[in-house]
Amino acid sequence: MMNTQTLGGKPTAQPTKELETFPNPNQNRDFHIHMEIPEFTCLCPKTGQPDFAVIYIDYIPDQLCVELKSLKLYMWSFRDEGCFHEAVTNSILDDLVASTQPKFMRITSKFYVRGGVFTNVVAEHRKAGWQPQARVDLTQFESNSNIRG
């Protein structure tokens, strides 16, 4: 259980919808940022019961990157909200795109089983005109430890 109290009794962290950003440290290169949030929770809007998911965030930043502590507090803000899986995934994407304006972003939500059904939701954003760079295949150079010269 997370303790949000200091010895003086003042809260040190609270959930918030505010997302902080910082400047992309290498704006001249496309690079992929992958994040996993393994303890995401929200409430089922029909039953009020908790829903649990792993949220995956994959993005290629443009000018800004999302700051991790604010992301954690943002994700925490859904804990007491009733949300359909499809709606919460798209809401997270919309909020992150609004704050960071990435070249590309994908949110994948993998919800735990409920009623015998696993639900996975994937939502994507692409900046107008952005195209991914060709991927370089380096598998031909992988070493084979069984062959020695």
| pLDDT score of 26 more than 90 | yes
- What pLDDT, on the 0 to 100 scale, is given for residue 13? 85
pLDDT of residue 1: 46
Helices (H), 12-114: 68-76, 85-100
Strands, sheet with 104-114, edge to edge from the N-terminal-most edge strand: 33-43, 50-60, 104-114, 117-126
Predicted confidence (pLDDT) at residue 4 exceeds the cutoff of 60 = no
Tell me which residues are annotated as active site.
Answer: 44, 51
Angle made by CA atoms 16, 119, 18, in degrees to the nearest 5: 10
Read off the pLDDT of residues 123-140 as tens digits, 9 standing for 90 and up.
999 999 999 888 888 888
Task: Give 53's contacts (C-beta < 8 A, 6+ positions apart).
Answer: 40, 41, 42, 85, 109, 110, 111, 112
pTM of structure: 0.84
pLDDT of residue 147: 56
Q: Does residue 21 contact residue 69 with C-beta atoms inside 8 Å?
A: no
Lowest mean pLDDT among 36-45, 60-69, 84-93, 130-139: 130-139
